[in-house]
């Protein structure tokens, strides 16, 4: 239960606090581990320091003996320089005194040096002014001895030079382990405390540097509103994950801005398209109210115009509702195995019975099997057909063409109408877009048909291509993947 509570508290922290805690903890643990290693090896380290000092002293004494014929106190002090050690040198060839230090000398009754040290385990000791507190402890070539209450470390060595054999004894006061460890422990605790404090301060700084781009993203996101979608995050800096996040965020805002502008344009265009028929209806209703009651001609004209505008509004609303459902992805696309030739043939038959004043040609070709929504394909063909009829002059020609290659089935609709300018081709599938509005103001339409056609094509795995020239006409080429199962005769 306690563990779960700790995990919950950690998860509820801000990212900056979590990063600070993690980095600070790692640094702190590292400091504590290093301190523990130093503390556990402190005694060995202190002993090693003392031993190295004794070894260096012995080496210096040997060098002095080899370079000088006589031994003097001043020479030995120079040899030992400033080392904090005691040293005695005994010529054990004939036990004749060659050098003595004033401290810790062992002499016989005739004041002759029998050995230069009063250490334990010395077979030559006859009288000693220093009695060991306990037996000496050996550590390889080193001995631990006590003189009074003081512990010393001793190093013995023998050295032969010019036929003379010398015994060298160097010793120094050993470090008090308990006192040394107490002082070291206090220092390590103090160092750990300040080290941990610095570690957390450093971790806080690192987290602030690392999370600076995130803070920039948050600040920019707070400034973004419906009234201002122009804000973007700076993408300066190294090519890391945070830069990728900034690029992704900017890309998202670009899409939102584009979508919002499209929505505003859509609402504006829809309002404009609806305002015109409503104004016409209001005008004719007012006309009927004034003169239509007594004038049959005015009455009939008003009724016909109101019916026409109502139909236009109804068609517009239907297309708007279709596009709204397509945007919400709620249009149910029911794909099935169909023959494209049959779907187009049905539409052509309906057009032929209409009084369009156009020549209708249908090039059926081989059967083209595709996997698509039959109702949507019919709607697609009707959109093209209505546009071709509207923009083709009387006695003009409209051709419906079906054909295929190895992978795709094609449906083309071609007319010899007024055509589309090349500069308008890239925009004709935009909602409410109508090419050269000044020329087409007398041609009815909502500017939504080709937007719906594009959606139908894309949602039935198709592609569309448009070719057109002003004054020569247009051709819309629709390509669908062949239904391999039906094409293969299965």
Asked if 145 and 54 sit in the same domain, the reply is yes
**Residues 204, 55 share a domain:** yes
* Neighbouring residues of 144: CB distance < 8 A, sequence distance ≥ 6: 136, 137, 138, 151, 152, 153, 154, 174
Pull the structure tokens for residue 422: 């090349």
Question: What would the pLDDT profile of 457-472 be if each residue is shown by its tens digit?
Answer: 999 999 999 999 888 8
Mark out the alpha helices in 126-240 (DSSP H runs).
177-210, 212-223
Beta-bridge mates of residue 363: 401
Residues 257 and 347 placed together within one structural domain of the fold: no
Identify the CA nearest to 399 among candidates 366, 361, 359, 347.
Answer: 361
Q: How many domains does the chain have?
A: 3
The CB density around residue 411, as the number of other CB atoms within 10 Å, is 26
Question: Residue 111 domain-assigned?
Answer: no
Per residue in 350-385, pLDDT tens? 888 887 788 899 998 899 999 999 989 998 998 898
Q: Are 459 and 333 in contact (CB under 8 A)?
A: yes
Higher pLDDT, 209 or 9: 209
pLDDT of residue 134: 40
Instruction: Report strand pairing: 106-107 vs 113-115.
Output: antiparallel
Whether 387 contacts 379, CB under 8 Å: no
Q: Is residue 236 part of a domain?
A: no
Rounded to a whole number of angstroms, the CA Rg of the chain reads: 53
Is the same domain home to 253 and 304? Answer: yes
Same-domain status, 168 and 278: no
Averaged confidence pLDDT in the chain: 75
For 84-106, what is each residue's pLDDT tens digit? 777 878 777 765 444 444 333 33
Q: pLDDT for 332-357, tens place per residue?
A: 888 999 999 999 999 898 888 887 78
Those residues whose C-beta lies under 8 Å from the C-beta of residue 157, and which sit 6 or more positions away, are: 58, 62, 141, 167, 168
Q: What is the pLDDT of residue 371?
A: 92
| Per-residue 3-state assignment (H helix, E strand, C coil) for 104-129 | CCEECCCCCEEECCCCCCCCCCCCCC
Question: Is 219 contained in some domain?
Answer: no
The answer as to whether 247 is a domain residue is: yes
Whether residue 377 sits in one domain with residue 273: no
Helices 340-352 + 374-391 axis angle, to 10: 40
Residue 399 has pLDDT above 90, yes or no: yes
Q: Is there a contact between 120 and 135 (Cβ–Cβ < 8 Å)? A: yes
**Distance (Å, whole) CA 146 – CA 120:** 9
The candidate with the shortest Cα–Cα distance to 464, out of 348, 368, 377, is 377
Look-up: residue for tokens 């295929």? 404
Same domain, 319 and 386: no
pLDDT confidence bin for 113, thresholds 50/70/90: very low
Q: Which residue segment(s) compose the domain that 202 sits in?
A: 13-93+130-210
Task: Give the CATH number, domain containing residue 277.
Answer: 1.10.287.130
Q: If 0-12 CB within 10 Å is exposed, 13-18 middle and 19+ buried, where does residue 348 land?
A: middle
Same structural domain for residues 170 and 304?
A: no
Which tokens belong to 141? 């070539």
Q: What percent of the chain is modeled with pLDDT above 90?
A: 13
Alpha carbons 252 and 389: distance in angstroms, whole number: 41
Q: Are residues 64 and 22 in the same domain?
A: yes
Average pLDDT over residues 141-169: 78
Annotate 371-398 with b (16+ C-beta within 10 A) or e (fewer). bbbbebbbbbbebbbebbbbbbeeebeb
Distance CA 137, CA 20 (A): 52
Does 136 score more than 50 pLDDT? no
> Using an 8 Å Cβ cutoff, are 39 and 185 in contact?
yes
Q: Provide the whole-model pTM.
A: 0.49
Q: What per-residue confidence (pLDDT) applies to 115?
A: 39
Residue 231 lies in a domain: no
Residue 425 forms part of a structural domain? yes
| Alpha-carbon separation of residue 455 from 150, 352, 422, 460 (angstroms) | 100, 27, 22, 9
Give 274 or 100, the one with higher predicted confidence. 274
* Cβ(467)–Cβ(419) below 8 Å: no
- What sign does the CA torsion over 425, 426, 431, 435 have? negative
Residues 50 and 88 in one domain: yes
User: Cα–Cα distance between 319 and 313 in angstroms, integer?
Assistant: 10
By three-state DSSP, how is residue 147 classified?
strand
Instruction: Say if residue 361 is in the same domain as residue 445.
Output: yes
Residue 185 above 70 pLDDT? yes
Work out the average pLDDT over 302-321.
79
The pLDDT confidence band at residue 444, using thresholds 50, 70 and 90, is low
Q: What share of the chain is helix, strand, coil (3-state, %, to 5)?
A: 50, 20, 30
Say which residues have a Cβ less than 8 Å from residue 58's Cβ, sequence separation at least 6: 155, 157, 168, 170
Establish if 225 belongs to a structural domain: no
Contact 479, 410 (CB under 8 A): yes
**CATH number for the domain harbouring residue 398:** 3.30.565.10
Tell me which DSSP letter residue 332 carries.
Answer: -
CA distance 87 to 365: 120
Q: Find the DSSP H helices in 335-472.
A: 340-352, 374-391, 437-440, 449-458
Residue bearing the bigger pLDDT, 216 or 59:
59
Contact predicate 230/256, CB 8 Å:
no
Q: Per the domain annotation, does 444 fall within a domain? A: yes
């Amino acid at each position: 239960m306690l563990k779960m509570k700790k995990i919950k508290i950690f998860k509820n922290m801000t990212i900056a606090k979590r990063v600070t805690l993690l980095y600070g903890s790692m640094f702190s643990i590292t400091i504590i581990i290093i301190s523990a290693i130093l503390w556990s090896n402190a005694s060995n380290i202190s002993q090693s320091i003392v031993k190295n000092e004794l070894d260096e002293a012995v080496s210096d004494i040997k060098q002095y003996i080899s370079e000088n014929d006589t031994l003097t106190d001043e020479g030995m002090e120079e040899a030992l320089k400033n080392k904090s050690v005691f040293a005695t040198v005994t010529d054990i060839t004939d036990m004749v005194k060659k050098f003595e230090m004033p401290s810790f000398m062992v002499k016989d009754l005739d004041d002759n040096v029998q050995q230069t040290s009063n250490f334990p385990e010395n077979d030559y000791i006859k009288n000693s002014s220093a009695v060991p507190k306990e037996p000496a402890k050996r550590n390889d070539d080193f001995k631990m001895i006590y003189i009074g209450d003081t512990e010393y470390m001793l190093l013995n060595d023998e050295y032969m030079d010019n036929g003379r054999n010398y015994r060298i004894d160097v010793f120094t006061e050993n470090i008090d382990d308990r006192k040394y460890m107490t002082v070291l422990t206090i220092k390590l605790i103090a160092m750990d405390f300040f080290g941990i404090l610095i570690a957390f301060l450093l971790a806080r700084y690192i987290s602030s540097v690392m999370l600076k781009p995130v803070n920039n993203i948050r600040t920019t996101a707070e400034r973004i509103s419906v009234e201002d979608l122009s804000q973007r995050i700076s993408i300066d800096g190294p090519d890391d994950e945070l830069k990728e996040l900034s690029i992704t965020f900017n890309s998202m805002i670009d899409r939102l801005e584009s979508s919002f502008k499209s929505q505003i344009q859509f609402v504006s265009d829809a309002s404009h398209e609806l305002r015109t028929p409503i104004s016409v209806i209001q005008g004719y209703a007012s006309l009927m109210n004034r003169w239509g009651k007594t004038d049959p001609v005015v009455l009939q004209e008003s009724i016909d115009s109101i019916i026409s505008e109502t139909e236009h509004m109804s068609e517009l609303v239907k297309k708007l509702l279709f596009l709204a459902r397509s945007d919400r992805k709620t249009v149910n696309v029911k794909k099935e195995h169909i023959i494209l030739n049959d779907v187009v043939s049905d539409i052509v038959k309906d057009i032929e019975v209409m009084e369009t004043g156009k020549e209708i040609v249908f090039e059926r070709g081989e059967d083209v099997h595709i996997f698509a929504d039959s109702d949507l394909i019919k709607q697609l063909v009707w959109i093209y057909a209505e546009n071709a009829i509207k923009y083709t002059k009387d006695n003009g020609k409209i051709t419906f063409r079906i054909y295929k290659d190895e992978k795709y089935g094609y449906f083309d609709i071609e007319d010899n109408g007024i055509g589309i300018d090349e500069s308008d081709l890239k925009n004709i599938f935009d909602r409410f877009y109508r090419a050269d509005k000044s020329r087409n103001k007398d041609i009815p339409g909502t500017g939504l048909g080709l937007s719906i056609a594009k959606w139908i094509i894309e949602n039935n795995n198709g592609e569309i291509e448009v070719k057109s020239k002003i004054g020569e006409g247009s051709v819309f080429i629709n390509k669908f993947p062949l239904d391999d199962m039906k094409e293969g005769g299965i």
